[in-house]
């Protein structure tokens, strides 16, 4: 392991590992199952109240959330994979993010067909409809949230201490999907869990850096520094 004073490792001297992070994988699966069971029951008063609180936030927020929300679409894996390919000059982070994003999207569609839970407009009498409010489709799980957390989970091992930013953006996607009345809270919780499961499987197959706190993309060498 590198000591705290060591310089960041470059992508040329990384050692990759192919191993499941068991605690993270077990926690993600458990969260997915718990959300699935809860979502398969009648909508609870608590979930409805949480939805109403987020959905009732000022409409101006939609304009702020719209751009990051697109990272949860199928455009997200393409954009992130291209950025990873450019930044690290390795195939692993680019392939991992792209595969996890696309697989996450398809996996979410499969779970939706199994659970068959409606969207907020189908189960609630009063919903604040916004520009991004879908009028059809199923709710559990949120495909956008699944993709966002799958991308965060596969990208985080490559960005060291900045991994919190990846998960923060994924959380914004989840918040946005509730705000625009696309999903109920349990839909995005299940989507986040499913995305993390997909990410963990992808990381195991593709490989991640063994020393995750000292990873720096090649782009770092282009960083400007005063003479």
7: which strand partners?
A: none
Of 206, 204, 198, nearest to 100 (Cα)?
198
**Which structure tokens are listed for 91?**
């195939």
When mean pLDDT is compared across 33-37, 82-86, 213-217, the lowest value belongs to 213-217
Structure tokens at 78: 């393409």
Which DSSP helix (H) or strand (E) runs through 209? strand 208-209
Give the residue ranges of DSSP H helices in the chain.
22-39, 45-55, 60-69, 75-88, 91-115, 120-123, 143-155, 163-179, 185-206
Separation CA 108–CA 226 (nearest Å)? 48
Per cent of the chain over pLDDT 70 is 86
**Whole-angstrom distance, CA of residue 36 vs CA of residue 39:** 5
Q: Give the model's pLDDT for residue 8.
A: 45
Query: Domain residue spans in the chain?
Result: 17-206
Please write the tens of the pLDDT for every residue from 97-143: 999 999 999 999 999 999 999 999 999 988 998 887 887 899 999 99
**pLDDT score of 171:** 96
Cα–Cα distance measured from residue 139 to residue 157, given in angstroms and rounded to the nearest whole number = 30
Confidence band for 161, pLDDT divided at 50, 70 and 90: confident
b/e 99-132 (16+ beta carbons within 10 angstroms → b) = bbbbbbbebbeebbeebebebbbebbeebeebee
d(C-alpha 108, C-alpha 145), whole Å: 9
Segment 65-72 mean pLDDT: 92
| Overall residue count recorded for the chain in this entry | 227
pLDDT tens, position by position, 11-34 = 445 677 777 788 888 999 999 999
Residue 212 has a CB neighbour count (10 Å cut-off) of 17
- Report yes or no: 192 and 111 within 8 Å, Cβ to Cβ: no
């Amino acid at each position: 392991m590198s000591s705290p004073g060591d310089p960041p490792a470059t992508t040329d001297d990384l050692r990759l590992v192919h191993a499941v992070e068991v605690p993270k994988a077990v926690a993600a699966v458990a969260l997915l199952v718990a959300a699935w069971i809860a979502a398969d029951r009648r909508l609870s008063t608590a979930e409805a109240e949480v939805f109403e609180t987020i959905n009732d936030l000022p409409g101006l927020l939609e304009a702020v959330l719209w751009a990051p929300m697109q990272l949860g679409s199928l455009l997200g894996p393409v954009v992130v994979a291209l950025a990873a390919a450019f930044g690290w000059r390795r195939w692993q982070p680019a392939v991992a993010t792209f595969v996890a994003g696309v697989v996450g999207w398809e996996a979410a569609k499969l779970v939706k067909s199994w659970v068959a839970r409606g969207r907020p407009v189908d189960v609630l009498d009063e919903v604040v409809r916004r520009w991004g409010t879908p009028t059809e489709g199923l709710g559990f799980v949120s495909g956008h949230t699944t993709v966002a957390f799958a991308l965060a989970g596969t990208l985080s091992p490559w960005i060291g201490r900045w991994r919190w930013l990846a998960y923060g953006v994924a959380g914004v996607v989840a918040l946005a999907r509730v705000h625009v009345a696309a999903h109920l809270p349990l839909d995005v919780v299940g989507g986040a869990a499913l995305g993390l499961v997909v990410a963990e499987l992808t990381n195991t197959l593709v490989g991640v850096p063994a020393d995750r706190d000292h990873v720096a993309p090649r782009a770092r060498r282009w960083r400007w520094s005063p003479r």
